[in-house]
Amino acid sequence: MNALVSGPCFPFEFLHAEIIRYEKQREIKANDLEVERTDKRKNWIEQMRSNPQMEVSLLDEQLKSVKQLFIQGNAETRLEALGYRIGFVLVEKIAKDLPRLITELERMKFLCKEFWTAVFGRQVDNLRTNHQGIYVVQDNKFFILTSFPEGKQYVEESAIYLAFPCGIIRGALYNLGITSLVTSSVENVPAVKFHVHMQQKS
Amino acid sequence: MNALVSGPCFPFEFLHAEIIRYEKQREIKANDLEVERTDKRKNWIEQMRSNPQMEVSLLDEQLKSVKQLFIQGNAETRLEALGYRIGFVLVEKIAKDLPRLITELERMKFLCKEFWTAVFGRQVDNLRTNHQGIYVVQDNKFFILTSFPEGKQYVEESAIYLAFPCGIIRGALYNLGITSLVTSSVENVPAVKFHVHMQQKS
């Protein structure tokens, strides 16, 4: 077992439960969409029959693209959303025995210490803020990238691997009362900077 | 960290990589599908114009349902497929330092001992066969169900949680040269019987 796990032990149970929920919802949504499209198609056919020279663009408006309806964002967005829901749940488990966190800074410190250790296996190496709503959280050995070769070679490839943890951070902060946008930047694998942009004062 | 992980440490890295691959493919597929459907729609419109009273069923044949094209199976099938790909990869890591496994029984024993310990955190409690291509692998404390209340109350709900591990087992066996179907049954949570139906002699 341990030979397969190089980093810390990520809580599989929460991820698995979320994947199940996700696939179930996808199934329900596909069924709904199918019904909706069948109805629209009937409409469309009737309109075409009554007016065969009708502008196709008018019909297209009725029938939004499959992509718009069904995909909802690209791979990165969906990985971020998966992480968001897991972060939201995890923070409750981790914060439940702690005193209430009042200030923004207290919450950010909790994120960097207790939460980071529990979920990502270590404390962060640095936390900075410009005092204008942006925090930069730096982890010099971010667990997801520790299996990558070190250095600048795989910086680009690493981006998609950070969508999920960005979501985890955003979800955790949201459940702590902080609405934020979280992005990441990598200059040297496995060091990552997470940029937390506050959306409103909590 | 440990407070969040009740069972063994599932290798997160492999699962995460697979989820990324899955979401990327979904994106590519959605784009392809969109192009394909736009073409079909054009065809459809032309046919409707030239023959407004055309049977709708004939048009429908051209335009397969979104569900068929896009979903490919229900939640259970997709969870199983996700597990399959992870099992396939994991077995290579686990078997790489072992001597070559020759017989079917040797491979099944490897599954129940080394593989099971590495991935599911313990050895199985029982392995039986009818010598006609069916093996029953019994794990009385299957790690995914250890967070469920014990007993018969959640037997039904547990089913969807076993799709992923069924896939893992099928993927692992496939990469060991055994083509099989794997199903599960639960009488008392957290005990699970996995039924391995051999599809061809290897």
pLDDT at B25: 84
Chain B residue numbers touching A4 (CB-CB < 8 A) = 11, 13-14, 90, 93-94, 118-119
Q: Compare all CA atoms of chain B with the CA of A32 and give the residue at the minimum distance.
A: B67
pLDDT at A202: 47
Cα–Cα distance, A8 to B196 (Å, whole number): 32
pLDDT at A62: 54
Say what the pTM is. Answer: 0.80
Question: Which residue's structure tokens are 């893992």?
Answer: B168
CB-based contacts of B187: which residues, under 8 Å, 6+ apart?
B152, B155, B193
pLDDT at position B61 over 90: no
Q: SS3 sequence, chain A? A: CHHHCCCCCCCHHHHHHHHHHHHHHHHHHHHHHHHHHHHHHHHHHHHHHHCCCCCHHHHHHHCCCHHHHHHCCCHHHHHHHHHHHHHHHHHHHHHCCCCCCCCHHHHHHHHHHHHHHHHHCCCCCEEEECCCCEEEEEECCCHHHCCCCCECCCHHHHHHHHHHHHHHHHHHHHHCCCCEEEEEECCCECCEEEEEEECCCC
pLDDT at position B5 over 70: no
Q: Check residues B52 and A198 and name the one with the higher pLDDT.
A: A198
CB-based contacts of A107: which residues, under 8 Å, 6+ apart?
A101, A173, A176, A177, A178, A202
A193-197, B12-16, B25-29: least confidently modelled range: B25-29
pLDDT at A116: 95
**Nearest chain B Cα distance for residue A84, angstroms:** 15
Helix (H, G, I), strand (E, B) or coil at B192: strand
pLDDT at B70: 54
- Which residue from B86, B79, B155, B166 is spatially nearest to A26, judged by alpha carbons? B79
Cα–Cα distance, B115 to A190 (Å, whole number): 29
pLDDT at A172: 97
pLDDT at B1: 40
pLDDT at position B64 over 60: no
pLDDT at A1: 40
ipTM of predicted complex: 0.75
Determine the distance from the C-alpha atom of residue A66 to the mean position of all C-alpha atoms in its chain, rounded to a whole number: 22
Cross-strand bridge partners of residue B198: B180
Q: What tokens were used for A67?
A: 């992509």
pLDDT at position B176 over 80: yes
The ranges of chain A with pLDDT < 70 are: 1-3, 5-7, 54-73, 201-202
Cα–Cα distance, A87 to A41 (Å, whole number): 40
Whether A34 sits inside 8 A of B67 (CB atoms) is yes
Helix (H, G, I), strand (E, B) or coil at B130: coil
Q: What is the pLDDT of residues A2-59, one digit of tens each?
A: 467 666 778 888 888 888 888 888 878 777 877 777 777 777 777 777 777 766 666 6
Percent over 70 (pLDDT), chain B: 85
Question: Which residue's structure tokens are 């009737």?
Answer: A46
Most confident among B12-21, B24-33, B35-44 (mean pLDDT): B12-21
A71 vs B30, B78, B147: nearest CB: B30
- Strand-pair category, B126-129 with A192-198: unpaired
Tell which of B46, B71, B147 to mutate to test the A interface (max A CBs under 10 Å). Answer: B71
Q: What is the pLDDT of residues B147-168, one digit of tens each?
A: 899 999 999 999 999 999 999 9
pLDDT at A78: 87
Spatial contact of A107 and A177, defined as CB atoms under 8 Å apart: yes
On the 0-12 / 13-18 / 19+ scale of CB atoms within 10 A, B55 is exposed
Chain B residue numbers touching A52 (CB-CB < 8 A) = 48-49, 52
Cα diameter, chain B: 69
pLDDT at A38: 75
Whether B74 sits inside 8 A of A27 (CB atoms) is yes
Spatial contact of B189 and B150, defined as CB atoms under 8 Å apart: yes
Element (H, E) at B180: strand B180-185
- Which residue from B118, B4, B142, B150 is spatially nearest to A117, judged by alpha carbons? B4
pLDDT at B65: 52
Q: Check residues B20 and A54 and name the one with the higher pLDDT.
A: B20
Q: Compare all CA atoms of chain A with the CA of B30 and give the residue at the minimum distance.
A: A67
Q: What is the pLDDT of residues B73-112, one digit of tens each?
A: 688 898 999 999 999 999 998 998 888 899 999 999 999 9
pLDDT at position B178 over 80: yes
Cα–Cα distance, A87 to A11 (Å, whole number): 11
Taking residue B35's Cβ as centre, other Cβ atoms within 10 Å add up to 9
Spatial contact of B159 and B85, defined as CB atoms under 8 Å apart: no
On the 0-12 / 13-18 / 19+ scale of CB atoms within 10 A, A32 is exposed
